[in-house]
Amino acid sequence: MLWLVMTTGKCNLKCDYCGGSFPANVVPYGVKYDINLLKRLVENDMESTIIFYGGEPLLNYKFIMTVLDNVRAKRYGIQTNGIAVRLLPEKYWRKINVALLSIDGREETTDKHRGKGIYKAVLRSAKYLKDLGVETIARMAVTQDTDIFADVMHLIDLGLFDKVHWQLDVIWSEEWDFKSWSFSYLHGIKRLTEYFLSELRKGRVVKIIPILGVISAHFFEGYKGSPCGAGYSSVTVTPDGRILSCPIAVREKWAELGNVNLGYRLLEDPLPDDCKRCEFKRYCGGRCLYAQKERYWGDEGFKVVDEVNKEYLRTVLSIIPEIEKLIRDGNIRLSDLYYNPLLDSTEIIP
Ligand code: SF4
Ligand code: SF4
């Protein structure tokens, strides 16, 4: 199972789609529970991945060190904005398997939303971590300023990231004209899918997660709920010891599954009712549980995003027949197409 361990609600940036720190009374800036309670829960799980999460998790690097020293997990990772990587001593970075670094693509796309100089700082951190042997994932927030093809290709071409993933800035922030923008987005998805396929023909699997994760769900097990695992194979532990289904839902009662003192109960049927008869449910799992529940853009806004989501899925799935042929012809091995989002804390579906 995936354990998103929040170390603090504080952040050292104020990116415009997120707004920065949580109020301390919602997500405290330090951990308030006894670490042995976390240890007991995690060590009972034979397939545990711990991903440090925030706020900006490195602002409480001391807690990260304590967990790395005391709580045994199969895999460790962190979701960070990449600004303060030097706070955590090198010895501890060497224990971390994967780092997801927030970067939105080209310099102008990144710095416009995250702040001047952030792009360069993240690249320095990516290089530093890669040199230490940490796997790096570029984690993009996609807005109306994104050219999905240009920005993803830019990150791939840098050669500093092992995988690229993105999330659409939709439904959880202020509504924008997503529908008009989506035409160019879907065109970019087509080009990325063609690029992915052309590399497969050469025997190379490019780790573009929103493409690879869908292909993997076709050939291997599909997703029974949100591919991030929210509430059924992933939980979030807040600094005050609550156990949530989703790390964004820090104020929402529906997200509470328990706490570190008393334990927790996973969701038994995480697929939303509206998705039960959808032809894409195996690949999509209802997309984001938080968006399903909160619907900040209303039902209409939700529907627009859903239509775009379906079109993206159609595009990616259209290359399945050719992939089957490449497997038969021995260009690629089926096992190279397997991807498990729980090991990286990615959501597959943007
Ligand atoms: S495409 Fe839409 S309806 Fe279908 S499973 Fe995903 S969220 Fe549900
Ligand atoms: S994809 Fe949605 S449900 Fe999953 S962790 Fe992100 S916000 Fe939560």
pLDDT for the residue 124? 98
Asked if the 2-343 domain carries CATH number 3.20.20.70, the reply is: yes
pLDDT for the residue 266? 98
pLDDT of 78 over the 90 cut: yes
Instruction: Annotate 196-221 with b (16+ C-beta within 10 A) or e (fewer).
Output: bbeebeeeebbbbbbbbbbbbbeeee
pLDDT of 171 over the 90 cut: no
CA of 287 to the centre of ligand 2 (A): 8
- Mean pLDDT, to the nearest integer, of 76-89? 97
User: pLDDT tier at 19 (50, 70, 90 boundaries)?
Assistant: confident
- Mean pLDDT, to the nearest integer, of 66-87? 97
pLDDT of 173 over the 90 cut: no
User: pLDDT tier at 64 (50, 70, 90 boundaries)?
Assistant: very high
User: pLDDT tier at 254 (50, 70, 90 boundaries)?
Assistant: very high
CA distances from 108 to 103, 186, 339 (A): 11, 21, 31
pLDDT tens digits, residue range 84-95?
999 999 999 999
- For ligand 2, say whether the CB of 28 is within 6 Å of any of its atoms: no
- For ligand 2, say whether the CB of 48 is within 6 Å of any of its atoms: no
Instruction: Annotate 236-270 with b (16+ C-beta within 10 A) or e (fewer).
Output: bbbbbbbbbbbbbbbeeeebbbbbbeeebebbeeb
- For ligand 2, say whether the CB of 290 is within 6 Å of any of its atoms: yes
pLDDT for the residue 50? 98
pLDDT tens digits, residue range 175-191?
999 999 999 999 999 99
What percent of the chain has pLDDT above 90? 96
CA of 347 to the centre of ligand 1 (A): 14
CB atoms within 10 A of CB 280: 21
Q: Which of 228, 293, 349 to mutate to test the pocket of ligand 2 (most atoms within 8 A of CB)?
A: 228
- For ligand 2, say whether the CB of 246 is within 6 Å of any of its atoms: yes
- Mean pLDDT, to the nearest integer, of 75-99? 97
pLDDT tens digits, residue range 261-270?
999 999 999 9
Q: How far apart are CA 313 and CA 304, in angstroms?
A: 14
Q: Which of 226, 250, 287 to mutate to test the pocket of ligand 2 (most atoms within 8 A of CB)?
A: 226
Q: Which ligand is nearest to the CA of 223?
A: 1
Q: How far apart are CA 135 and CA 344, in angstroms?
A: 10
Nearest to 7 by CA among 17, 19, 15, 21: 21
pLDDT of 172 over the 90 cut: no
What percent of the chain has pLDDT above 70? 100
pLDDT for the residue 332? 97
- For ligand 2, say whether the CB of 347 is within 6 Å of any of its atoms: yes
- For ligand 1, say whether the CB of 295 is within 6 Å of any of its atoms: no
- For ligand 1, say whether the CB of 37 is within 6 Å of any of its atoms: no
Q: How far apart are CA 101 and CA 162, in angstroms?
A: 11
Contact between 90 and 150 under an 8 Å Cβ cutoff? The reply is: no
pLDDT for the residue 177? 94
Q: Which of 173, 248, 296 to mutate to test the pocket of ligand 2 (most atoms within 8 A of CB)?
A: 248
Atom of ligand 1 nearest to the CA of 272: 8
pLDDT tens digits, residue range 209-238?
999 999 999 999 999 999 999 999 999 999
Tell me the pTM.
0.97
- For ligand 1, say whether the CB of 278 is within 6 Å of any of its atoms: yes
In which residue are the tokens 């964004």 written?
Answer: 248
Atom of ligand 1 nearest to the CA of 279: 4
pLDDT of 17 over the 90 cut: no
Q: Which ligand is nearest to the CA of 350?
A: 2
Dump strand ranges (E) for 40-178: 49-53, 75-80, 98-102, 135-142, 163-168
First to last CA, the chain: 21
pLDDT for the residue 18? 82
- For ligand 2, say whether the CB of 247 is within 6 Å of any of its atoms: yes
- For ligand 2, say whether the CB of 285 is within 6 Å of any of its atoms: no
